[in-house]
Structure 1
Amino acid sequence: MLPTPRHRRTHRILAAAAGLATVGALAAAMPASAGQDRSNPHHHPGSGRYQDVQLLSFNDLHGNLEPPAGSSGRVTELQADGTTKSIDAGGVEYLATHLRQARQGNKYSITAAAGDMVGASPLISGLFHDEPTIDALNKLDLDVTSVGNHEFDEGAKELGRLQNGGCHPTDGCYDKKAKFRGADFPYLAANVTDEKTGKPILKPYWVWKKNGVKVGFIGVTLEGTPNIVSADGVKGLKFGDEVETINKYAKVLQRQGVKSIVALIHEGGAPASTAYNYDCDSPGAGDGISGPIVDIAKNVTPAVDALVTGHTHQAYACTIPDPSGKPRMVTSASSFGRLYTDTTLTYDRWTGDIARTAVKSANHVVTRDVAKAADMTSLISKWKTLSAPIASRPIGYIAGEIGNAGNESPLGDMIADAQLAYAKSVDPEADLAVMNPGGIRAGLTYAASGSEGDGVVTYGEAYTVQPFANTVNLVNLTGAQVITALQQQVSGANEAAPKILQISKGLTYTLDLTKTGAARVVADSVKLNGAAIDPAATYRVAMNSFLAGGGDGFAELGKGGDVLVGGDDLAAFESYLTANSSATAPYPVPTADRITVVR
């Protein structure tokens, strides 16, 4: 097990005002408060039987310290008349203010997170191996978080450094005045064990205590983490079943006298509506949410009182029945710090457990119409100054916003074309390129984010799009393997949640969503430059190193032969944009018409 963190809690800053619009959830009447019972061992002088404990939570921050740009910085709000509106949201200067306001008047308040606090981060954090984000989370007074898959992007040793502090082993100390001290809060990794010892690499659980009130937290990431992280990042680690692990440690906590338990799970689902305030428990709301978290929630022991989830970047506050059929709160606060969840856990001092019928929860928007937190502004200023010479360098021009949404996105086409162009520069025999959608972290916005001017793309903006430092590799695949890889987008590990590869110019096919499984990719529709793909022929295919390792469920791509490991994927994108755009001839917005979708 990695060393545990030093717990240096600072005094919380409390501001005035209340939270924002709420989403309905389970809110049955709280049990009537009993009189003080001096014979009860849980009795505390001057307190009643029931104590409300505030649980503030968020997930999938991904180092977004500054307000996310474009669609990544907006949430959808459902209006009373059934229409929706878009609200600008996010940025830790605003998140800090909202959390501090929410804590006002709540003496029993806990702040927790459900993983992916770091990784795939914008340049202001990613350039410094996410030390700035850990500093920001310390200032936010985060109490505890689970690990997510992206906490393993740079491996367990680097995760240990983020937890415990110290200078980066190769880059050294960025702040010459103060050594990086690490996280003030514990990272929980109950289901991540060392293959050799079988022991968790970090603490599996943590208990919050105040005036006799005890709430235990168990943290897990998705069992499938090795499928979506580079092999080097998870080398020597084993990822266990989420349900089995949570149930195991719930028993451990109960044996220690902790009966109020919250699971922090970096796995999630998809709500029936994209509106953050959609009431998925209201009559006629349908199935509420779907996806992996549903089966997990239905099987996690009833000893767990609430589930804080993440990974899917969705917003919901729903109830899902536990194994005994009793409703239990399951929440997720979107991503990038655009929302936070405020959950009330009513603690019964007599039993030490949560009065489940009184649990209520709501998502709140991190609006940008509140005062910025001065300490966060100072933190951002410090790291922006250090990163500015790199981040502000112009690398190209675009004619309009190039988005990253849909089965096929304009930006996805652009990146695939960039990788094919690079591949042809090192091997003229290169035929096509594919790009995983999860590797594209943001769109390219047209409006200036600084002083560079509209339509100018800076290195910092490009870094936000592709922050993983993958290489562009070339492999040989048969035509049959190419078709199989395309079918793996919608079958096997990806059948429930398809991952549609972004494809280079010249490659076309039909995606028939009226069918199921692999049949959704119509095999005889797959063409290259107008000619049907020959199953027996060999094609030279470019892709990033993550896909070339079979990542994201694309096992067929990992079987390629004659591998050539190329250069950095961001450098390839930069070179392509620089070569194909200018101030007078900006890069046009791609039409995204390579995949014909049948619905």
Structure 2
Amino acid sequence: MPKRGNGETGRFSGWRAVMAACTVAALGAIAPAASAAELSIVFTSTMADIEPVEGEGGLANLATLLRTKRAEGGTLFLHGGASLAAGVLSTFDRGAHMIDLLNELQPDMMAVTKRDLGFGKDELTLRSYEARFPFVSANTIDRNTGKVMEGLEPSALLDTPVGKIGVVSAISPELTVQYIVPDIEVRPPATIAAEARALRAQGAVYVVAILDNAPEAVEALRGEPAIDALLQLSASGKDVLEDGNGKVFGVHVNVKGSAFVLRLDGDGKAPPALTGADIVPLAGLPPDPAMEKRVGVYLTRLSELLDITIGTTATPLDTRRAAMRTGENAFASLIADAMRGHFNTDLAFINGGNIRGNRQYEAGTVLTRRDIQRELPFRDSIIAVPLTGKALREALEVSAAGVNNQKGSFLHPSNMAVVYDLKQPAGSRVVSVTVGGKPLDPNATYSVALPTYLAQGGDGYSMLKSPGVSSPSASSSSGAGGKLLWEIMAQHLTDRGTVSPRIDGRITER
């Protein structure tokens, strides 16, 4: 496997230079003379799940937008990342299918986000070698080398009809809290301002910065003179695209519903002028037949694997983001109960961020393996470990601290009842805790079923870290043998046939 340079700031090396030259030549060939000084920049992100969702656009709709813009003239396609995990198919191939599909769409680069490291550093490096476009992240540093992680570039410098366009991106500092990547250091996102200035020094007439869900860095980067467009990925809210004084600020929400289109005019020498900035709903575009066919091949494979009935829910279920990360949830409780039952432990925890379906199910819905894989896309195994009552209470404080920001660290318990007072400061929100109807004893040791991710201290749960748990896919630990979460859940449903999960008061607020 050939090595690719990760220290050449803003430059392609080897085949990248060839690809960039071919792209520019192709743009020049299709662009009429009148459009030689015009450029469209298309930006989107977050399409990990290729299954169609009503009211949302997908890759086939995006292909239509790109084909239209490329026919009109010079076009750059900047991808914001967050697409290699956590979709249903990525459970099987770690995002390889997405690289295959994106290669067809021909991005000029892809920003790396924390979600793209969901399967670990080595898998991301493998995906980067499969891609025909560079992966960009300036602040994802390998502790072993002190340089940007292998397979990534700190920035990209792209030739276009209006001059050289620089692109730099920063990953969220939450990476090292939410994912198990001990070899990775995340430098403060605001430090990419220096990379933007370096791109200017290399001849960039326009610089785009892509920020992975790091709102704390927005103010500093918006004021950076070297950055012309700052595009931030956000986990919630709505799309925003503002332009003023020639600058652009955008917030792209983590759903596969839209693309941003910026239009620039220039002579290839002086800084180009911004002539337009639009949010384009992808669902309003007809699907491209060729891409629809390509996606359909993968969907057919999924159907063969996943269209197997495993049970029925007699009660409605809600797995949307807010429902999973702010309070008690019937589906999350069902999962926690299945975990505890499988290991026969005193209690169990599942974190809301492990559940990703973002769906609503009506009472009477027949559930398939597809539903369970969509809801639980990470290949995380469940283990049983001993934990003290003191550690459990500390974990519940971490859980309550993230409610206001809808963090995935919110814990759903089994055989536990906890009362929170969310009006209190973070760290002092747990009012009372019972296990099996008895007050939590800080000095007692309890057997707990939980994902290996939490047992490694993921999501900030250092107090849950257990010796002997070395990887998210570990099959054993010092506690009991592990089993994949979706397998436990599927077996639980199969054994019962029909389930009726409800809110039962295991999490309440004062």
TM-score range (shorter-chain normalised) is 0.7 to 0.9
Q: Give the distance between the partners of 1:211 and 1:443, measured in 2 at CA.
A: 41
Q: Give the distance between the partners of 2:34 and 2:65, measured in 1 at CA.
A: 30
Partner residue, 1:117: 83
Q: Give the distance between the partners of 1:530 and 1:65, measured in 2 at CA.
A: 44
Partner residue, 2:479: 563
1:510 aligns with 2:419: yes
Equivalent position amino acid for 2:418 in 1: Y
Equivalent position amino acid for 2:187 in 1: G
Alignment RMSD, CA only?
3.1
Following superposition, the deviation at residue 100 of structure 1 comes to 3.5
Partner residue, 2:238: 315
Partner residue, 1:226: 176
1:574 aligns with 2:490: yes
Map 1:526-545 onto structure 2 (within 5 A).
526-545=433-452
Secondary structure at the aligned position of 1:376 is classed as helix
Any stretches of 5+ residues in structure 1 without a counterpart? 13-44, 74-87, 165-181, 269-290, 425-429, 449-453
Return the match for 1:95 from 54, 58, 62: 62
Partner residue, 1:169: none
1:469 aligns with 2:469: no
Partner residue, 1:77: none
Question: Relative to structure 1, is the Cα distance of residues 382 and 415 closer, same or farther in structure 2, using a 3 angstrom cutoff?
Answer: same
Return the match for 1:66 from 51, 54, 59: 51
Following superposition, the deviation at residue 474 of structure 1 comes to 1.7
Following superposition, the deviation at residue 579 of structure 1 comes to 1.5
Q: Give the distance between the partners of 1:211 and 1:503, measured in 2 at CA.
A: 53
Following superposition, the deviation at residue 252 of structure 1 comes to 1.9
Map 1:114-513 onto structure 2 (within 5 A).
114-123=80-89, 125-164=90-129, 182-200=130-148, 201=150, 202-230=152-180, 234-244=181-191, 246-268=192-214, 291-295=215-219, 297-298=221-222, 301-318=224-241, 328-345=247-264, 347=266, 349=268, 351=270, 353-355=271-273, 358=274, 361-367=277-283, 370-405=285-320, 406=323, 407-408=326-327, 409-424=329-344, 430-443=345-358, 446=361, 455-491=365-401, 498-499=407-408, 501-513=410-422
CA deviations on 1:217-255 (whole Å, 9 max, x unpaired) are 01221133121122xxx35333222111x1221232122
Overall identity of the aligned pairs, in % = 24
Secondary structure at the aligned position of 1:196 is classed as coil
Q: Give the distance between the partners of 2:503 and 2:246, measured in 1 at CA.
A: 46
CA deviations on 1:490-516 (whole Å, 9 max, x unpaired) are 44x887654453423432222323222
Structure with greater helix share of residues: 2
Partner residue, 1:34: none
Following superposition, the deviation at residue 534 of structure 1 comes to 1.7
Q: Is the 8 A contact 2:339 2:348 kept in 1?
A: yes
Q: Is the 8 A contact 1:413 1:502 kept in 2?
A: no
Q: Give the distance between the partners of 1:129 and 1:383, measured in 2 at CA.
A: 14
Following superposition, the deviation at residue 377 of structure 1 comes to 2.2
Secondary structure at the aligned position of 1:564 is classed as coil
Q: Give the distance between the partners of 2:247 and 2:179, measured in 1 at CA.
A: 31
Equivalent position amino acid for 1:225 in 2: L
Q: Is the 8 A contact 2:350 2:451 kept in 1?
A: yes
Higher mean C-alpha displacement, 384-393 vs 246-255:
384-393
Q: Is the 8 A contact 2:319 2:331 kept in 1?
A: yes
Following superposition, the deviation at residue 99 of structure 1 comes to 4.1
Q: Give the distance between the partners of 1:314 and 1:136, measured in 2 at CA.
A: 28
Secondary structure at the aligned position of 1:382 is classed as helix
Question: Relative to structure 1, is the Cα distance of residues 348 and 420 closer, same or farther in structure 2, using a 3 angstrom cutoff?
Answer: farther
Secondary structure at the aligned position of 2:46 is classed as coil
Following superposition, the deviation at residue 535 of structure 1 comes to 1.7
Q: Give the distance between the partners of 1:307 and 1:133, measured in 2 at CA.
A: 25
CA deviations on 1:80-107 (whole Å, 9 max, x unpaired) are xxxxxxxx11332233234444x27642
Alignment TM-score, normalising by the size of structure 1? 0.72
Return the match for 2:42 from 56, 78, 81: 56
Q: Give the distance between the partners of 1:475 and 1:517, measured in 2 at CA.
A: 26
Question: Relative to structure 1, is the Cα distance of residues 507 and 498 closer, same or farther in structure 2, using a 3 angstrom cutoff?
Answer: same
Count residues with an aligned counterpart: 474
Secondary structure at the aligned position of 1:190 is classed as coil
Q: Give the distance between the partners of 2:507 and 2:193, measured in 1 at CA.
A: 44
Any stretches of 5+ residues in structure 2 without a counterpart? 6-12, 28-32, 469-477
CA deviations on 1:440-493 (whole Å, 9 max, x unpaired) are 111465479xxxxx72222222111111111112222222211111101244x8
Q: Is the 8 A contact 1:476 1:560 kept in 2?
A: no
1:587 aligns with 2:499: yes
Question: Relative to structure 1, is the Cα distance of residues 549 and 262 closer, same or farther in structure 2, using a 3 angstrom cutoff?
Answer: same
Question: Relative to structure 1, is the Cα distance of residues 545 and 495 closer, same or farther in structure 2, using a 3 angstrom cutoff?
Answer: same
Secondary structure at the aligned position of 1:517 is classed as coil
Q: Is the 8 A contact 1:266 1:311 kept in 2?
A: yes
Question: Relative to structure 1, is the Cα distance of residues 382 and 118 closer, same or farther in structure 2, using a 3 angstrom cutoff?
Answer: same
Question: Relative to structure 1, is the Cα distance of residues 302 and 520 closer, same or farther in structure 2, using a 3 angstrom cutoff?
Answer: farther
Equivalent position amino acid for 1:294 in 2: V
Equivalent position amino acid for 1:66 in 2: E
CA deviations on 1:99-158 (whole Å, 9 max, x unpaired) are 444x276423221122212111113x4423322211221222322111111322333332
Q: Give the distance between the partners of 1:526 and 1:197, measured in 2 at CA.
A: 45
Partner residue, 2:73: 107
Higher mean C-alpha displacement, 566-575 vs 210-219:
210-219
Equivalent position amino acid for 1:364 in 2: V
Q: Is the 8 A contact 1:420 1:504 kept in 2?
A: no
Q: Is the 8 A contact 1:93 1:376 kept in 2?
A: yes
Following superposition, the deviation at residue 318 of structure 1 comes to 4.9
Equivalent position amino acid for 1:266 in 2: D
Secondary structure at the aligned position of 1:260 is classed as strand
Partner residue, 2:473: none
Higher RCO, 1 or 2 (CA under 8 Å, sep at least 6)?
1
Secondary structure at the aligned position of 1:435 is classed as strand
Secondary structure at the aligned position of 1:118 is classed as coil
Q: Give the distance between the partners of 1:214 and 1:505, measured in 2 at CA.
A: 56
Question: Relative to structure 1, is the Cα distance of residues 508 and 100 closer, same or farther in structure 2, using a 3 angstrom cutoff?
Answer: farther
Q: Give the distance between the partners of 1:499 and 1:484, measured in 2 at CA.
A: 17
Q: Give the distance between the partners of 2:265 and 2:421, measured in 1 at CA.
A: 49
Question: Relative to structure 1, is the Cα distance of residues 295 and 211 closer, same or farther in structure 2, using a 3 angstrom cutoff?
Answer: closer
Question: Relative to structure 1, is the Cα distance of residues 267 and 498 closer, same or farther in structure 2, using a 3 angstrom cutoff?
Answer: closer
